[in-house]
Amino acid sequence: MGPVTGSFFDGQHAGRHRVEVTLDEGAGVLIVTGPSLPEALHWPLERLRALEDLARDYSLTLTLHAETKDESPRDPARLTIREPSMTARIREVCPDLRRRDLHRGTWGKLLKRTGLAVAAVVLMLFVILPRMADTLATLIPVEREIAFGKSVIAQMERALGAADLGDLRCRGDAGQAALDRMVARLTEGQDLQYDLEVRVFDDEMVNAFAAPGGQVVVMRGLLEDANGPDAVAAVLAHEIGHVEARDATRIALRAAGSAGLLSMVLGDFTGGTIAVVLGERVMQASYTREAEAAADEFALGMLNAARVDSTGLAEFFDHIGELQGEMMQLPEYLSTHPASAGRAERARDNAESQGATSPVLSEADWQALKGICG
């Protein structure tokens, strides 16, 4: 078929060559001739490739499959044909016209680079970021840590499904007054580096957790599940121990760094991933055994100073142990702060040596606290 007129660019010079194009189906070639070409070109049909980014309804731009150093192995020359019958016939007789060519070994290189990228992300998430967070936790001024903690609390609410900041906070006046009395009893005479802000969230999760800067949250589910105010006070003292050791700040910094890195990897630059991951990570904080043991000792020391019976903590751990034995779904507090018979026994041994104690709250205050969410 042909000849028809066309435009040819050799890929070496900017000038355009006016050429004639003939389709020789018998020989399986496209013949390109022109007065400005040094010789006729014979392009094998099986090597023809259409440039889709230059495609038009009325024209066809062609190149050749060839080994080059480009990402896609193609000859730099370009041939444009606008004659409808010729372009239609070329599309019919060239099955590989739209084939996407890759260099040999490209998939291997891609897999290798992907593996290296995954390894780099894992190294950042589990080695570099934790060490950076541990260092930063000791360097952040307390006032900035407090501001950071308030931001973390807001992310927690978002992770729990709150539409607006403060929606989950339980605001019963009598209950909040009882909670404040519990905190005052525990902290009296204690030289704490933070002014504690303790609040209750209206959520059925059996949990309590610490955020940076003296922020502590108790869930409604923990109040409903506890066998008395002394158990809640013991859990609260444990979380205050994490606050004072800045464990919560380390966890939050790790979560923020991890979420930021994941946001870049996933292409989420709106902050959604950071908000959700940060909130959920802090709520499900998994401290080291050393940090947990230190928080237990801090809690027992605080209970002793406040003359609050640590049997409440032992009974709480006993209750968790019963749920373990029944193979039920465990409360969140168990999965994030691993309980054990040993911890219960330690609290019970401490109770035997405490001397005189008194309930941390009156019965009326305890009922008010349990009903803080209305």
Using one digit for the tens of pLDDT, what is the confidence trace for 79-119?
A: 999 888 898 898 888 878 878 766 566 566 777 777 877 77
Domain extent at residue 124: 114-370
If one compares 62 and 250, the residue with the highest pLDDT of the two is 62
Are 48 and 187 part of one and the same domain?
no
For the stretch 50-72, pLDDT in tens is: 887 555 667 889 888 876 555 55
Judgement on whether residues 39 and 122 belong to the same structural domain of the protein: no
**One domain for residues 68 and 166:** no
143 pLDDT above the threshold of 50: yes
**Are 21 and 168 within one domain?**
no
State whether 50 and 128 are in the same domain. no
Would you give the distance in Å from CA 261 to the centre of its chain?
Answer: 8
Residues 279, 240 share a domain? yes
Query: In CATH, what number is assigned to the domain containing residue 87?
Result: 2.30.29
Does residue 244 belong to any structural domain of this protein? yes
Is 125 found in the same domain as 71? no
**Which of 93, 123, 155 finishes a domain?**
93
Query: What's residue 312's pLDDT?
Result: 87
Q: Tell me what the mean pLDDT of segment 331-349 comes to.
A: 68
Eight-class DSSP state of 349: H
Assess whether pLDDT exceeds 70 at residue 340.
no
Label residue 274 by pLDDT band (50, 70, 90): very low
Is 126 found in the same domain as 60? no
Binned at pLDDT 50, 70 and 90, residue 182 comes out as: very high
Task: Identify whether 245 is part of a domain.
Answer: yes
pLDDT at 146 (0 to 100): 87
The reply to whether 330 falls in a domain is yes
Last residue of a domain, one of 58, 93, 128: 93
- pLDDT attached to residue 187: 96
Distances in whole angstroms, Cα of residue 367 to Cα of each of 151, 307, 314, 316, 371: 31, 21, 21, 18, 6
Q: How many domains does the chain have?
A: 2
Residue 238 lies in a domain: yes
Residues 75 and 149 in one domain: no
Average pLDDT over residues 312-318: 83
- Whether the pLDDT of residue 269 is over 50: the answer is no
Residues 211 and 278 in one domain: yes
Verify that 188 and 311 share a domain, yes or no: yes
DSSP state letters, 32-99: EE-TTSSS-EEEEGGGEEE-GGG-BTTBEEEEEB---SSSS-B-S-EEEE--HHHHHHHHHH-TTTT-
Could you tell me if residue 109 is inside a domain? Answer: no
Q: What is the reported pLDDT for 333?
A: 46
Does the residue 107 lie in any domain? no
Q: Give the mean pLDDT of 292-321.
A: 89
Q: 286 and 165, same structural domain? A: yes
Map residue 139 onto helix, strand or coil: helix
pLDDT for the residue 40 = 93
Q: What percentage of the chain exceeds 70 in pLDDT?
A: 76
**103 located within any domain:** no
Has residue 214 been placed in a domain?
A: yes
